[in-house]
Structures are given as structure tokens and as C-alpha cells.
Amino acid sequence: MKPSEPILMQQAAERVAEDDPAASYLHPLVPGEVDLSHGAILYLDDISVSFDGFQALKKLSLMIEVGELRCVIGPNGAGKTTMMDVITGRTRPDSGSCFFGQSIDLTRLSEAEIAHAGIGRKFQKPTIFESHTVFENLELAMKADKSVRQTLLARLSAEERDRIAETLRLVRLSDSADRVAGLLSHGQKQWLEIGMLLMQEPKLLLLDEPVAGMSDEETERTGELFLALAGSHSLVVVEHDMAFIEKIARKVTVLHEGSVIAEGPMAQVQNDPKVIEVYLGR
Amino acid sequence: MGPIATTISRLYGTRGWIALGAFAAVLFVVFPLLSLAVPEGHALHLSQYWVTLVGKIMCYAIVALAMDLVWGYAGILSLGHGLFFALGGYAMGMHLMRQIGREGQYQSELPDFMVFLDWKAYPWHWWNTDQFWWSALLVVLVPGLLAYVFGYFAFRSRVKGVYFSIITQALTFAAMLLFFRNNTGFGGNNGFTDFKRILGFAITTPETRMALFAVTGAALIGTLLLGRWLVKSKFGRVLMAIRDAEQRVAFCGYDTVNYKLFVWTLSAVLCGIAGALYVPQVGIINPSEMSPANSIEIAIWVAVGGRGTLTGAIVGAGVVNGAKSFFTQAFPEYWLYVLGLLFILVTLFMPQGVVGIVRKWRATK
């Protein structure tokens, strides 16, 4: 599609809207761009996944709003990681649909395409490029044309250097920019990975146990960082650390055996008898 | 600084460029002088044996560099690189066979082995091989295309690690069996030999040999600089990231298949060029070049020199092949034991190879 087309479509939509208010729902659909016009960034609907007979996800449905900070909790084996795998294209659901915004069907995209569309994921175990420097880690993660041809000739512009420096400041690694990433402390590795996510300028961040292994102070700083990011980004945080969840949570989703059993503010969820039975009460 | 100056300083520091300049001076000044200008019988005269041996080792060094790009930097261990080398060699060999003209034993337009098989015309795949430009194109295209198609399917199906290595080993073995057959049209187990001339020049004169030597030296230095440019670019950093954590690279939005395919195909093309330079210097190409052991040896060169260093690949190819030509003359029956022992010692005590040892020694000094 030629780049000018969406604009023409928008003009057409505006013209129609002048005559007929009911036609105002017409808005341009730009391929590859996330359409957030309905206020939701992620829809999971009736997702089921099974591995060798084990039902990891059972008709899971979930909706994340734009700018939301959502916490997902649940006992081991509840399907939290599988849910992340489905969203990032690592696992294909047996049934159900998974949409990013209104128009991007995640079940039909590759992992790289999903990352490109604007979903960034932090893994449970920090996976950074251990033999590269901190700076290079961020450089590789940076949003850019990632085709082979562009990468062969790529040079960092001053603007890109500034962005890397800015992210280094945000994740408090400015002093370690030239260190080999494998030498960082566990907490610093987690932060570096969050920094790498931010370099991709994702619209949706998936964070799998981001504070595991962090010191209390690091955990606190991480919480501050997430609260600062919410609003401009949408975040989904999977965590076991209840103190941390309580500090940052606005809306909590509880998973159990592959489906959602409760959803709402922390206080409400904590008092839900079903939740107490399967999870908090233990 | 202009873009060329930045590229130059990005590739090597001052000491690196001086070392490279010294290496080039030895190849392009010292060797021709000692071999051509110094008269035979003089103590400093360099015999044809040495020119051919060093020329041959430089071809191997190009293969080692190609191997280091895929193994040392992208983490893809190929045990079939000998195939690409041999294919480049065969493509050049076909041209050299046609340059023999009617000077073969049977004085026919056709190469001797075809006369022997009672063939009346060249088979289809020999088409246009009397043209040098076409043969040169085949040197690049045949290994490149084979690697591209093979890599496309292997990388897309996410074949990795030892499984990939085994398949490459099977590939070169299958090709060897194919080339052993007389019907394939490549001279069966004798391959091609008895070349008379290249580009009209008699192939065994000292001048022609020195020219081939110089071209090989230039190709080696060119390959080194190309490799260095690749691994110092963002592309190179992506390759190393693929080697260390491929899944993570995919989540960063890179299509890792394309990256692996690019470096894999480039590596095969470099091997093809090395093979094409090798054949006129040693004067023979036959299917034993495709034997699985040959391809494994390439991996040993790189391991001995030091993976992921480029310089190490050249050092490894030099050290192992230097040792090989010494041992196969002095103690022929022990060479394979020496090679095996070398590999074990390097794996156990020098995981970073010769270059790693030198670096460590420099760091503690």
C-alpha cells in the first residue's frame, strides 16, 4: 500500500463524517500500525493451549487497556508464562483469538514481526547478550530497520546515541555503559533487560517476574520505574512477590489452571473466596 | 574524519595495520624477490616447493576465515565446508581442463577421461566453461547457490547445533560419492589433473606460479579485511548475539534466519574462491577434497588458532598445515595421531586457541 493512501482514507472519512455523524466510526486502518481507537491494546479471547494432553490454557480471556499497568498473579502452573508465549508468538494457540489493538492478529505473526509491531517481553531469567557491552546491548535492541542490508551499513546517529544515554540513565547503568554485560550483578542484568525493552519503544511491555533476585532497594526502584512508564506504555507484570504487587498494582488478574478466576483491584481480589482458596489462602 | 578514515580506524588500530602491512610486504615483495630475482642455487633462493606450499596454505587460510565467520561469530559449526571449497576448485578445474586443448594423451578436443569413457561431446554442465569469465562466475555461484538453498531449509526449520553439523557432514559425503562416479562427468576418482596453462600462460613456470601466489595473497588479505569489516559492524554484533542467545535476538525484532543465511552463503562463496585459487597451484582436484575428514580438519584449524578472532583462523591454518607438511614427510604414519592429539590438547588447555594464549600473555605482561 502506498504511504499516501491512509491519509486519503482519513480525508474521505472526515468528509463523510461531516455529512453523516454515524459514519464517524470510519477511521484509517494503517497496516502494521496498532489501532488503539477502542481504548484496548490487547485482547485475548477464549485462548486454549495444550501440550501433550496437558491443558496449559483453558478458554483464557483477557483485555488490557491502553496505558494500563496490569498485574497477573497465580500459583505455579497457572499458565502465566504460556500466556506470554501466546502473545509473543512463541506458542500458537489451539483455539481462540489474540489481537494487538483492533487489527493485528498476533496468532498469524512471527516472533520478530510481533516484536516489530510493538510488544516487548522480559523473560523470567534475564537474557541479555553476555559478551556484548551494556551499550551494545541497548544498541542492538534499539528500534531501527533490522534488515540485514541496513544493519551492515548502520551507523549510530547523535540522536540515537542520546537515546541510548537516556535509557542508560533511566535504568541506572550510565556508569557501566562500556562494561561487558556478563559481569553485571543479577539486579543490574534485570535492569539492562528492561532498558533493552524500552529501546524497542514498545507500546506493550510484558514483564515476567521482573524483580526476582533483586535487593529491596532495587525492587523499590523498579516499582517506581514501572509506575513512571504506565500511561505512556501499557504494562503486563507477572510476579510472585506480593509486596511488590501491592505497591504497584491498580488492577490484578488471577490465573488458575489456565483461566482467569478473578479480576479487579488488589483489595477486592484478595478478598475473593475463590482466590483465597486456590492461591492466597495457602 | 571522512567515512573512509573512520572505517580504517574501525577495522584495526595502528599496530594492527602495521602488522598487516608487514605481512603484505612479505607476500608481495620478499617472496617474489627471493623466488624470481635471486638465482637458483643461491642460499637465499626460494624454491618452487615453498611458493606452492605457502600459496596452498593461504588458500586454506581463506577457508579458515570463512569457517570462523560462521562458527566463531554466528555459532554455526559446519562440517561440510570442504564441499564448497571443492566445488569452487572443480569449477576452475573444468576451465583448466579445456585449456589443455589437444595436448592431452589422446590429442582430442575432449579431456582424456571423456575420451576414455567414449564420450563424443561435452555434457551439458560443461557448457561455456572454455570461457574464463563463465568459469569464474561458476566458482562463486555454484557454492553460493548450494549453500543458500541448503541454508534456507535448514535455518527455516530451525536445525541447530550438532544436528546441523551432522547434516553438513552428510552433504559433503553424498557429494563425494556423486563425484566419484564416472557418469557425473567430473573425471571420477581421478578428478582433474595435468593442467597445461591458465589464461594462456604455461601453468608451471615460476612467473605464473608467483602470479597465482600473489593473487592468493591479495584474496587472503581482502577476505581478512572483509571479515573484519563485517564483525566490527552492527551486523557482526547481531551475529554474535545470535550465537549467544538466538531467541533473544528474535524478540528484539531481528529475523535471525536472514542473518544466518547471509553469513552462511558468503562463507561458502569465500570457500569456492579459495578452491579456485588452490587448484591451479597444486595442479589437481579430485573427490577426496570432499571427504568428511577434510571438512573436520577445517574446524580444527579454526579451533587451534582461536575461534571468533579471524587472525586466529589464519594462524591456525598456518600452524596445522605447516605441521602437517612437516610430519607427513618426516613421520607420515604418525600425522593423524599428532592431529588428534593437537585437537584434544587445544580443547582441554587452550579453549581460546593460540590467539587466546597470546592475548592472555599480553594482558599479564
* pLDDT (tens digit per residue) in B284-308: 999 999 999 999 999 999 999 999 9
Residue pair A71/A252 in contact by the 8 Å Cβ criterion = yes
Q: Where are the beta strands (DSSP E) in A17-172?
A: 40-51, 54-65, 69-73, 95-100, 104-105, 119-122
Question: What is the Cα–Cα distance from B83 to B284, expressed in whole angstroms?
Answer: 16
Q: Kindly state the average pLDDT of the residues A49-61.
A: 91
Across chain A, mean pLDDT equals 85
* Spans of all domains in chain B: 48-292
Say if the Cβ atoms of A200 and B252 lie within 8 Å. Answer: yes
Of A127, A140, A143, the CB nearest to B238: A140
Judge whether residue B91 has pLDDT over 90: yes
Residues in chain B within 8 Å Cβ distance of A131: 240, 244
**Dihedral-angle region of residue B310 (phi above 0 means left; psi in -120 to 50 means alpha; beta otherwise):** left
Residues in chain A within 8 Å Cβ distance of B254: 112, 146, 151
Distances from the Cα of A88 to the Cα of A83, A207, B73, angstroms: 9, 12, 27
Residue pair B121/B111 in contact by the 8 Å Cβ criterion = no
Tell me whether residue A11 is exposed, middle or buried, using C-beta atoms within 10 angstroms of its C-beta: 0 to 12, 13 to 18, 19 or more.
Answer: exposed
Say if the Cβ atoms of B255 and A121 lie within 8 Å. Answer: no
Say if the Cβ atoms of A147 and B238 lie within 8 Å. Answer: no
Q: Strand A104-105 relative to strand B284-285: parallel, antiparallel, unpaired?
A: unpaired
Of B240, B258, B262, the CB nearest to A131: B240
Judge whether residue A14 has pLDDT over 90: no
Q: Cell digits for B130? A: 572454455
Judge whether residue A52 has pLDDT over 90: no
Distances from the Cα of B206 to the Cα of B31, B100, B215, B230, angstroms: 12, 19, 14, 36
Residue pair A37/A66 in contact by the 8 Å Cβ criterion = no
Size of interface A-B (CB pairs under 8 A): 74
Our CA-based measurement puts residue A203 at a distance from the nearest CA of chain B, in whole angstroms, of 14
Among A131, A204, A206, pick the best mutation site for testing chain B contact (most B Cβ within 10 A): A131
Say if the Cβ atoms of B245 and A129 lie within 8 Å. Answer: yes
At residue B228 the predicted structure's pLDDT band, cuts being 50, 70 and 90, is very high
At residue A102 the predicted structure's pLDDT band, cuts being 50, 70 and 90, is confident
Segment holding B294, helix H or strand E: helix B292-305
Q: How many CB atoms lie within 10 A of CB A269?
A: 24
Domains of chain A, each with CATH number or no CATH: 33-118+203-282 (3.40.50.300), 129-201 (no CATH)
Segment holding B25, helix H or strand E: helix B14-25
Across chain B, mean pLDDT equals 94
By CA distance, what is B236's nearest residue in A? A152
- The DSSP call for residue B331 is S
Residue A24's pLDDT is 46
Most confident of A45-49, A201-205, B6-10, B56-60: B56-60
pLDDT in tens, B116-125: 899 999 999 9
Residue B7's pLDDT is 87
At residue B143 the predicted structure's pLDDT band, cuts being 50, 70 and 90, is very high
Say if the Cβ atoms of B254 and A146 lie within 8 Å. Answer: yes
Say if the Cβ atoms of A127 and B252 lie within 8 Å. Answer: no
Q: Where are the beta strands (DSSP E) in B268-342?
A: 284-285
Question: What is the Cα–Cα distance from A248 to A239, expressed in whole angstroms?
Answer: 11
Our CA-based measurement puts residue B273 at a distance from the nearest CA of chain A, in whole angstroms, of 22
Say if the Cβ atoms of A148 and B251 lie within 8 Å. Answer: no
Residues in chain A within 8 Å Cβ distance of B158: none
The upper half-sphere exposure of residue B57, i.e. CA atoms within 13 Å in the direction of its Cβ, equals 20
pLDDT in tens, A66-92: 999 999 998 888 889 899 999 999 899
Judge whether residue A282 has pLDDT over 70: no
Residues in chain B within 8 Å Cβ distance of A118: none
Among A137, A140, A189, A204, pick the best mutation site for testing chain B contact (most B Cβ within 10 A): A140
Residues in chain B within 8 Å Cβ distance of A128: 245, 248
Q: Which residues share a beta bridge with A54?
A: A51
Question: What is the Cα–Cα distance from B87 to B77, expressed in whole angstroms?
Answer: 19
Of A121, A128, A132, the CB nearest to B237: A132
Say if the Cβ atoms of B262 and A129 lie within 8 Å. Answer: no
Residue A11's pLDDT is 55
Residue A1's pLDDT is 41
At residue B41 the predicted structure's pLDDT band, cuts being 50, 70 and 90, is confident
Q: Strand A119-122 relative to strand A204-208: parallel, antiparallel, unpaired?
A: parallel
Residues in chain A within 8 Å Cβ distance of B253: 112, 115-116, 143, 146, 200
Residues in chain B within 8 Å Cβ distance of A189: none
Residues in chain A within 8 Å Cβ distance of B246: none
Residue pair B72/B308 in contact by the 8 Å Cβ criterion = yes
Residues in chain B within 8 Å Cβ distance of A196: 252
Segment holding A158, helix H or strand E: helix A158-170
Say if the Cβ atoms of B245 and A111 lie within 8 Å. Answer: no
Reduced to 3 states, what is the DSSP secondary structure of residue B135? Answer: helix
| Nearest in space to A180 (alpha carbons), one of A227, A128, A226 | A128
Residue A215's pLDDT is 87
Reduced to 3 states, what is the DSSP secondary structure of residue B192? Answer: strand
Our CA-based measurement puts residue A144 at a distance from the nearest CA of chain B, in whole angstroms, of 9
Residues in chain B within 8 Å Cβ distance of A143: 253
